Structure 1
Amino acid sequence: MGDDRVDLDESRRWEGMWWLPDEQENPIPGILHYRPGNGLELSLIGAFEDRITSTPAPGVTAVHEGHRTWDVIHGAAEHREITLLGCIPTGGLRTYGARVDSPDKQIIDATTALVGVHIGGDRDVTFAAAAVSVEDMGAWAASSVLETVIGAPDGKLDGSGSISVSRRAAESVLVGETEYRLEHSYGLPFLDRRTGGTVGRMRDTAFMRIVPREPISWRDAVAAVALVQDLIAFATHRAAGVIWLRLELAGPDPHQVPGRPARPRYAEAIYSPSAVGKQDATAVSHHHVFFTCESLRFEEVMPRWCEARERLHAATNMILGLRYAPARYVEANLLTAVGAAEVLHRGLRIDERPFPPEEFERLRNAMLEQVPEKHRARFKGSLRNDPTLRDRLYALAARPDQDAIALLIPDVDRWARRTTKARNDLAHEGRTPNHSLEELAAVVEVTTAMVILNILHELGLPGQRQCEIVQTHPQLRLTANLAREQLTAPANS
């Protein structure tokens, strides 16, 4: 990977010319700023026409309330093309009839900048591949090109040692029509000489290259990157931010010099993922990782994750939401955790009807005969042959490794009953008078852990590893303690 990549946790600026795609002959000078946390801001010396006008009669122009927005703005800066997407004017200075003529100023916010390409919109099929670096991907990959050797002859340290580099072949797997490649990027060793000493440095970055069979659009690329980001977040049980995203352009280079070998063309993406990664933050501890490519091989976990995420998309989103943006109030987290359990059960397609269809139909018809005609439609709609929330919780508890479940929830029956009671009270009465805050917090954590164990089970994580997670992962170990304290019947304490 080149050194000109754009890291999303670093501020950047581009000074150049900017124009609307259908007004290329009228460029306007300006500066594009990117600041982490604030996003993209284009400051123009001049202005695009952002007033909404109409001509109700010849020679009459009416100016309406509001401002124009632009799907796309093109630019050129630092010898590179730039495309801005989702552009909204947010400020500036327009003057009319001033004594001294001076240029207008305009501030435009953009949702996305693609540095290195001009495209017509987020649905343009433009990109042949995407390479993305996500926080803690190296820990999840459980591999590195760097190796350390410490000299210790006869078991005694002698002060010698070395850091060496060994090339690693990319791990690759084809899922449907998309190839996923786990690769490493690294630079040459560097000695940083300071007045107080010398520091040797070398960086190894694990990243994922996503190569579809056919070119994709920017919107498709964002979805593919989100799939990888969510995998790392789920595996590490914490928010995983995107550090950088580089897109490889499809098709021939229109500026290719004849006779010279073709080189890949790249565009650097600047956008707002669900979390922005910090490349120099401390990596996750191995005790906090549910699984790595050692416990679930890369060529096995990627197809399983792609299938599970598509089938259980809502449940994984809700659980990951508790990691990316947890609510400040336990009631909101309660609805999210229990809702995730419900939609997970539906997504697993393991529903067992309480009654055989023929028997249910006979019972319902018999009951409806006793209901006045004017209330029959409403009453009929409330009679459903579906499992209850408690049934769904019992079914989820029966799927993962049962030794792991026993370690996590000693009293499954009480957890299912108290969780059902808490959710129903909150949803139907607007309060939970029969639960303490401590018990509600335990319900949230235990139900979240139950969903996690079910997804790990779907990914094929061995039962022994499930038990190890409950026993050694700090969060799940705390959750197991909460279950024993708050969700165990007194007779079983």
Structure 2
Amino acid sequence: MGERSWRGHWWAADDPNTRVPGILHCSEEGRLTLELVGGFDITVREPFADGGGYTVSAESRDVPIIHGISGGEKFTLLENGATHTSGAGLFRNEIVQQNWSSGRALRGIYLNDLESPLFVRGHLRLERLLHWGNETTFGLEMGLGEGEGPREARAVTRSVEPVDATHEGMRISLRILSTRFSYEHVIAANERALTAKEYAVLTFTPLQPAPCMAFDEVEKDMQDLLTLSTYEPCGAVNRSIVFLGDDGEPREVEVLGPQIYRTSDPRKGKDLDFLLTLANVEFAELIPAWLSLKEKARTGCNILFGLRYINKGYVGTRLLGVATAAESIHSALRATSTPLPKAQYRRIKKKLVAAIEDEGDYVINFVKMGLRNSPTYNSRMIELASIPDGAAVDSLLSDRVLWAQMLKGARNDLAHANERSSQGEEISRAFWLLEVTYALLCLVLLAELGVSPEIQRAAVARNSKINYASRQFRKILAGDVGREGV
């Protein structure tokens, strides 16, 4: 979309009479900056007890909500922080220039209270959403021409029925929409084009009007579902929320702000070997199942998908991240897993305490508090690898026991600042261990969603990234076994 900017006048929401000219910039990544010619007085003055003057605090006054108008368009800026203030008479409130950064902007409304339940819908367009939806409004009809003339072709658009799901009172809909056909005449080039576009939109409708940020979590969760399903990081293309005006008519408000991920050149992303699409599952069943699963394993999933949204960083740090995500996801999905049956554990612990009753309170408390019926990291990973289809896991990891041992060793090295897992030839081992572990966790999530074994196996066999990572990891395991046999 490129960088956008709006010239206008801006003021603190609690001081509408002090208006300052300036320009709001929104970068392609969604970064918001407000450049003012002049500025707001953000000085914190503390008067003397005798009233004879004041001191100026090193702290500055917050302006949590800024309003603005540009060419008749209303703006609300949120999560604001002053980044630069200058002027020869700064202490006399003679500000020449002031710059602000904002975490979010609402284009189309003046909002005075973040908790105001005004918004009746939210709309979200995500990268790859159209192809994940597995529907199209376009059709190409072929016919026979007269005599030996060329065949006739006719492009048509048709309506596609939206699909709906409900989760905890919120209705979530997926719609496939298209624009009308339009002619483009390029006279000098001797060309004419007939074009139309289609796109997919997710709509979130709560039971009751909600605050502006009430849609954030469910939108982020749907973004993660697309990232899981497509095996590619999926950013938000456009976000908006809708309120009802005084006349009862809907008013759409664009939500601007930094994105955790945005594909740098969407036209280069042509890989369609998705793990899961709506050709495989029903939207009405998938969405509530996913949102419940995400809530259950939120911390681990946030770490896991964060590795795709932010794909820069040292291999060792990222490997430690995926190892942590694996442990967190296992703890969430298999919270009742224990090495010993609970009754047997309690019986053994009772015997141990009775056997050391003459050792003093410190030793007794040490046994009571220190002896836990919790699985080791290695056993957690073995159990985690047993959740997806066995054939899919074997195809991915070759040897799940060796994989678990490698991941445990790398995690321990990195957590204890041992650089063995992030230097020299170990970097390559760490990278492919990272990649197959990420793939395994995706299989775990698919299995928990009830995705069939056939689709899980196809994910390993047909997705080019997973298949390549599996082959590289298999080479590493073969090399390790060869060295052990020497």
TM superposition score normalised by structure 2? 0.89
Residue 227 of structure 1 pairs with residue 213 of structure 2: no
Kept in 1: contact 2:87–2:94 (CA 8 A): no
Kept in 1: contact 2:30–2:256 (CA 8 A): no
- Report the residue type matching 1:96 in the other structure: G
1:479 deviates by 2.4
Residue 204 of structure 1 pairs with residue 190 of structure 2: no
For 1:17, the equivalent position in structure 2 comes to 9
- Report the residue type matching 2:161 in the other structure: A
SS in 2 for 1:217: coil
**1:77-92 correspondence to structure 2 within 5 Å:** 77-92=70-85
TM superposition score normalised by structure 1? 0.88
For 1:404, the equivalent position in structure 2 comes to 392
**1:376-395 correspondence to structure 2 within 5 Å:** 377=365, 381-395=369-383
CA 338–366 in structure 1, closer or farther in 2 if over 3 Å, else same:
farther
For 1:478, the equivalent position in structure 2 comes to 468
1:464 deviates by 0.5
- Report the residue type matching 2:225 in the other structure: L
The 2-side partners of 1:150 and 1:378 are apart by 80
> How much is the aligned-residue C-alpha RMSD, in angstroms?
2.9
Residue 329 of structure 1 pairs with residue 322 of structure 2: no
SS in 1 for 2:470: helix
Residue 273 of structure 1 pairs with residue 259 of structure 2: yes
Q: For each residue in 1:153-196, what CA deviation from the matched residue of structure 2 results, as whole angstroms up to 9, or x when unmatched?
A: 9xx99564332100111111111210001012322111222232
The 2-side partners of 1:424 and 1:283 are apart by 37
**1:350-389 correspondence to structure 2 within 5 Å:** 351-355=336-340, 356-362=344-350, 364-365=352-353, 377=365, 381-389=369-377
For 1:131, the equivalent position in structure 2 comes to 123
The 2-side partners of 1:86 and 1:487 are apart by 49
The 1-side partners of 2:204 and 2:393 are apart by 36
Kept in 2: contact 1:243–1:278 (CA 8 A): no
1:329 deviates by 2.0
1:418 deviates by 2.3
For 1:305, the equivalent position in structure 2 comes to 290
Residue 61 of structure 1 pairs with residue 49 of structure 2: no
The 2-side partners of 1:94 and 1:186 are apart by 51
**1:159-238 correspondence to structure 2 within 5 Å:** 160-194=152-186, 195-196=188-189, 197-238=191-232
For 1:116, the equivalent position in structure 2 comes to 108
CA 141–110 in structure 1, closer or farther in 2 if over 3 Å, else same:
same
1:46 deviates by 2.7
For 2:68, the equivalent position in structure 1 comes to 75
- Report the residue type matching 1:46 in the other structure: G
CA 394–292 in structure 1, closer or farther in 2 if over 3 Å, else same:
same
- Report the residue type matching 1:240 in the other structure: C
For 1:4, the equivalent position in structure 2 comes to none
- Report the residue type matching 2:261 in the other structure: A
SS in 1 for 2:76: strand
The 2-side partners of 1:118 and 1:298 are apart by 36
1:141 deviates by 0.7
Q: For each residue in 1:270-303, what CA deviation from the matched residue of structure 2 results, as whole angstroms up to 9, or x when unmatched?
A: 111312357953444221x110111112111111
For 1:27, the equivalent position in structure 2 comes to 19
Residue 490 of structure 1 pairs with residue 481 of structure 2: yes
Q: For each residue in 1:417-447, what CA deviation from the matched residue of structure 2 results, as whole angstroms up to 9, or x when unmatched?
A: 2222222233246233799333322322222
The 2-side partners of 1:176 and 1:285 are apart by 34
The 1-side partners of 2:277 and 2:45 are apart by 58
1:144 deviates by 1.6
Q: For each residue in 1:295-330, what CA deviation from the matched residue of structure 2 results, as whole angstroms up to 9, or x when unmatched?
A: 112111111111111011122112211211135322
SS in 1 for 2:48: strand
Select between 22-31 and 69-78 the one with higher mean Cα deviation: 22-31
- Report the residue type matching 1:477 in the other structure: N
The 2-side partners of 1:363 and 1:60 are apart by 75
Select between 397-406 and 365-374 the one with higher mean Cα deviation: 365-374
The 1-side partners of 2:115 and 2:436 are apart by 41
Select between 201-210 and 53-62 the one with higher mean Cα deviation: 53-62
The 1-side partners of 2:235 and 2:225 are apart by 12
Q: For each residue in 1:48-75, what CA deviation from the matched residue of structure 2 results, as whole angstroms up to 9, or x when unmatched?
A: 1011211123130211213222110112
SS in 2 for 1:122: coil
- Report the residue type matching 2:107 in the other structure: V
- Report the residue type matching 2:87 in the other structure: R
| Alignment gaps of 5+ in structure 1 | 1-8, 257-261
For 2:88, the equivalent position in structure 1 comes to 95
For 1:5, the equivalent position in structure 2 comes to none
Kept in 1: contact 2:89–2:95 (CA 8 A): no
- Report the residue type matching 1:49 in the other structure: D
CA 241–109 in structure 1, closer or farther in 2 if over 3 Å, else same:
same
SS in 2 for 1:219: coil
Q: For each residue in 1:129-162, what CA deviation from the matched residue of structure 2 results, as whole angstroms up to 9, or x when unmatched?
A: 1001011101111112112345689xx9956433
- Report the residue type matching 1:423 in the other structure: R
Kept in 1: contact 2:32–2:258 (CA 8 A): no
For 1:52, the equivalent position in structure 2 comes to 44
| Alignment gaps of 5+ in structure 2 | none
CA 438–166 in structure 1, closer or farther in 2 if over 3 Å, else same:
same
SS in 2 for 1:346: helix
Q: For each residue in 1:2-24, what CA deviation from the matched residue of structure 2 results, as whole angstroms up to 9, or x when unmatched?
A: xxxxxxx3322222222222212
